[in-house]
C-alpha cells in the first residue's frame, strides 16, 4: 500500500498512457486516433516532469541572493539586501533538465501533430472518408480492379 | 467598413478582440524578453504571438488576416528564425570559438555578457521560427476549402 | 503512511483524478468536436499539474500550445473532414484491450523499482540536473535555469528542435499549401490522369 502511495504518479501516468494507447489501437477514425496519440504524448510529459519533482523544492529560478555578481544598493529601497536569516538559507530547486527536454518536446509535438492532421485532410480529399476500415476496403477493391483507368 | 461592423452579429467580439489583440502581442514580447528572469522564452512567446494572429483571423476572417500578415512574410519569418539560430552558431565559429559557445562574444566579461548576448540571439531565432511555423500551419488549414458531403450541409 | 498527506498532495490527486476521467471520456465519446475539446481540457489540466510539480516553464508552454494552438488546429482539421467517428464493434475492441492490459501489467511490475515521488536523491535528480543549477550561478548568471540550459548548455539540442518545427511547417506547406491549394491540380500527360484515383469531388461528378 505504501509503495502505491509513494509511486502514485507512476500509477496514474501508466493508466493515462494505456488509455491513449487504447484509443490509438481500437478506433478507426483517424482524428480520434491523433487525439489518442496526443493523450499518450501528454502522459509521457507528465512522467518526465513528475520524475523531476523534489519534495519541498522550488521552481528552478535562482534566488537573487544566490546569483553570482548580484549586488544590492547601499541605500536600501526596492532592491534592499534581504535579512541575514534569508541570506543564509539553503534553497532546494527541482531538477531543470526534464523541464528543458519536455518544453521543446511540446512545441515539436504540436508541429508533428499538425503534419498528421494535414495527412488526414489529404486522405479525406482522396478517399472521401477518414475511417481506417473503409479506406482498406476501397484500396482492396481498387487492387481487384487493377489500375485499368 | 464601419457600417458593416455595426450590423455584424459579432460586434462585441470584434470590439473586445480589437483591444485584446495588441495586448496579447505585447504580452508575447514581455514573455520573450523576460524569459531570462522568469518563466518564458522564445517557444512560449512564439506560440502566444501566433495565437494573437490566429485570434485576429478567427474574428475578422482569414482574408483580413492575410492582408495584415501576408503569407510571404510568414514564409520568410520561419526561415529567418532558423537562419538567425544557425547564424549565431556560425558567428561563434567566425570569432574563433566552438559552435554555439557564446563566451567568445565577450570573453573578458565578468558578468557572462557573452552568454547573455548569445542567449538573446538564439531566443530571437526561436521566436521567429515558432511564430512563422505556427501561423503558416494555421493559414494552411484555414484556407483549405472543405469538400463537404451532402449530408453534412 | 499518513504523515506525507498534505493539501498539495490532495490537489495533485484531484487533478490526476480529473485527468483520468477526461481520458476515459475521450475513449467513450464519438462526437469529434467533444473529443477535440476534451483534448484541450486534458492539456490544461496537465498544465495545472505541471505548476504543482514546479515546472512553470513547461506549464506555460503546455497551456499555450496544448490548450490553444493544437485545439484550433484539430478543429480546423475536423471542419475539413468529418464530425463524428464511426462506432467500433465490441469484438474489435477486445484485441486492443488485451494488448493494453498486458503492457500495463508489465509497467506496473516495474513501478516498484522506480524512485519515490519527490525523491531528491533519485538518479534522475542527482547528477547533471543538480550540476546545471550549481554551474548556472557562476557560468551564465541568469536566474532562470531552464532558459540557461535550453539556450546555452543545450543550444545544439534546441537548434535541432527549431529545425524540426521549421521542417514541420515546410511539410504542411507542401501537403496543404500556404493558400490551401496544394494537390488541387493534376498532371495530365497525353490527356490521361497519371494519378490512379480521382478526388471526392470528381467522383461525385462522375456518378450521375
- The 10s digit of each residue's pLDDT in C16-58 is 999 999 999 999 999 999 999 999 999 999 999 999 999 999 9
First and final C-alpha spacing in chain C: 73
Q: What SS3 string covers C39-101?
A: HHHHHHHHHHHHHHCCCHHHHHHHHHHHHHHHHHHHHHHHHHCCCECCCCCHHHHHHHHHHHH
- The 10s digit of each residue's pLDDT in B113-129 is 899 999 999 999 999 99
Q: Are B102 and B118 in contact (CB under 8 A)?
A: yes
Predicted ipTM? 0.89
Any idea which fold A2-55+91-145 has?
Helix Hairpins (1.10.287)
Contacts of A27 (CB under 8 A, 6+ apart): A33, A36, C85, C88
Return the beta strands (E) in chain B as ranges.
none
Q: Are C47 and C67 in contact (CB under 8 A)?
A: yes
Q: Which residues of B108-145 are buried (b: 16+ CB within 10 A; e: fewer)?
A: eeeebbbbbebbbbbbbbbbbbbbbbbbbbbbbbbbbe
What is the phi/psi pair of residue A131, to 5°? -90, 130
Q: Is C15's pLDDT higher than 60?
A: yes
The mean-pLDDT minimum among B111-115, C37-41, C123-127, C191-195 falls in C191-195
B141: region left, alpha or beta (phi > 0 left; psi from -120 to 50 alpha) = alpha
Residues of chain A with Cβ-Cβ distance to C136 below 8 Å are 62
Contacts of C185 (CB under 8 A, 6+ apart): none
What are the angstrom distances between the C-alpha of C204 and each of A33, B145, C195, C199?
28, 16, 17, 9
Q: Return d(Cα A112, Cα A118) in angstroms, integer.
A: 10
Residues of chain C with Cβ-Cβ distance to A92 below 8 Å are 120
Question: Among candidates A58, A61, A63, A50, which has minimal Cα distance to A92?
Answer: A58
pLDDT, position C204: 58
pLDDT cut 70: percent of chain B above it: 90
Domain spans in chain A, listed from the N-terminal domain onward: 2-55+91-145
Domains and CATH numbers, chain C: 7-90 (1.20.120.1200)
Please identify among residues 160-179 of chain C the ones whose CB lies closer than 8 Å to any CB of chain A: 161, 164-165, 168-169, 171-172, 175-176
**Out of A61, A107, A118, closest to residue B130 by CB:** A107
Q: Return d(Cα B48, Cα B27) in angstroms, integer.
A: 8
Please identify among residues 148-207 of chain C the ones whose CB lies closer than 8 Å to any CB of chain B: 148, 150-152, 155-156, 158-159, 162-163, 165-166, 168-169, 172-173, 175-180, 199-201
Return the residue matching grid coordinates 501576408.
B70
Amino acid at each position: 500500500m505504501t509503495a502505491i502511495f509513494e509511486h502514485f504518479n507512476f500509477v496514474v501516468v501508466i493508466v493515462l498512457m494505456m488509455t491513449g494507447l487504447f484509443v490509438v489501437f481500437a478506433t478507426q477514425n483517424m482524428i480520434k486516433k491523433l487525439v489518442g496519440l496526443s493523450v499518450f504524448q501528454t502522459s509521457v510529459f507528465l512522467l518526465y516532469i513528475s520524475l523531476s519533482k523534489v519534495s519541498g523544492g522550488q521552481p528552478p529560478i535562482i534566488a537573487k541572493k544566490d546569483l553570482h555578481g548580484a549586488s544590492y544598493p547601499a541605500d536600501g529601497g526596492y532592491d534592499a539586501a534581504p535579512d541575514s536569516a534569508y541570506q543564509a538559507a539553503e534553497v532546494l530547486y527541482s531538477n531543470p533538465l526534464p523541464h528543458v527536454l519536455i518544453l521543446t518536446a511540446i512545441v515539436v509535438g504540436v508541429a508533428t501533430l499538425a503534419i498528421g492532421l494535414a495527412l488526414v485532410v489529404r486522405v479525406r480529399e482522396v478517399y472521401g472518408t477518414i475511417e481506417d476500415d473503409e479506406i482498406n476496403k476501397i484500396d482492396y477493391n481498387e487492387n481487384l480492379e487493377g489500375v485499368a483507368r | 467598413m464601419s457600417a458593416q461592423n455595426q450590423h455584424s452579429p459579432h460586434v462585441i467580439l470584434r470590439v473586445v478582440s480589437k483591444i485584446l489583440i495588441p495586448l496579447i502581442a505585447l504580452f508575447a514580447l514581455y514573455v520573450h524578453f523576460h524569459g531570462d528572469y522568469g518563466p518564458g522564452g522564445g517557444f512560449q512567446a512564439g506560440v502566444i504571438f501566433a495565437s494573437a494572429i490566429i485570434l485576429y483571423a478567427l474574428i475578422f476572417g482569414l482574408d483580413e488576416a492575410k492582408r495584415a500578415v501576408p503569407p510571404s512574410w510568414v514564409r520568410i519569418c520561419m526561415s529567418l528564425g532558423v537562419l538567425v539560430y544557425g547564424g549565431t552558431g556560425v558567428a561563434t565559429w567566425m570569432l574563433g570559438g566552438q559552435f554555439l559557445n557564446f563566451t567568445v562574444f565577450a570573453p573578458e566579461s565578468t558578468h557572462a555578457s557573452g552568454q547573455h548576448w548569445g542567449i538573446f540571439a538564439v531566443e530571437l531565432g526561436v521566436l521567429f521560427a515558432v511564430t512563422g511555423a505556427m501561423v503558416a500551419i494555421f493559414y494552411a488549414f484555414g484556407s483549405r476549402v472543405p469538400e463537404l458531403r451532402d449530408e453534412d450541409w | 503512511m499518513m504523515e506525507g498527506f498534505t493539501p498539495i498532495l490532495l490537489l495533485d490527486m484531484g487533478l490526476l483524478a480529473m485527468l483520468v476521467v477526461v481520458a476515459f471520456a475521450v475513449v467513450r465519446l464519438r462526437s469529434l468536436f467533444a473529443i477535440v475539446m476534451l483534448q484541450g481540457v486534458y492539456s490544461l489540466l496537465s498544465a495545472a499539474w505541471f505548476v504543482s510539480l514546479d515546472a512553470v516553464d513547461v506549464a506555460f508552454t503546455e497551456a499555450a500550445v496544448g490548450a490553444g494552438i493544437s485545439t484550433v488546429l484539430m478543429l480546423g482539421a475536423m471542419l475539413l473532414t468529418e464530425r463524428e467517428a464511426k462506432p467500433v464493434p465490441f469484438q474489435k475492441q477486445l484485441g486492443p484491450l488485451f494488448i493494453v492490459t498486458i503492457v500495463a501489467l508489465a509497467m506496473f511490475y516495474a513501478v516498484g523499482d522506480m524512485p519515490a515521488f519527490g525523491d531528491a536523491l533519485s538518479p534522475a535528480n542527482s547528477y547533471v540536473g543538480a550540476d546545471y543549477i550549481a554551474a548556472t550561478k557562476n557560468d551564465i548568471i541568469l536566474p532562470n535555469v531552464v532558459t540557461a540550459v535550453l539556450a546555452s548548455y543545450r543550444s545544439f539540442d534546441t537548434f535541432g528542435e527549431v529545425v524540426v518545427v521549421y521542417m514541420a511547417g515546410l511539410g504542411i506547406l507542401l501537403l496543404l499549401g500556404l493558400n490551401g491549394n496544394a494537390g488541387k491540380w493534376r498532371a495530365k500527360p497525353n490527356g490521361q490522369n497519371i494519378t490512379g484515383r480521382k478526388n471526392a469531388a470528381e467522383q461525385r461528378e462522375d456518378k450521375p
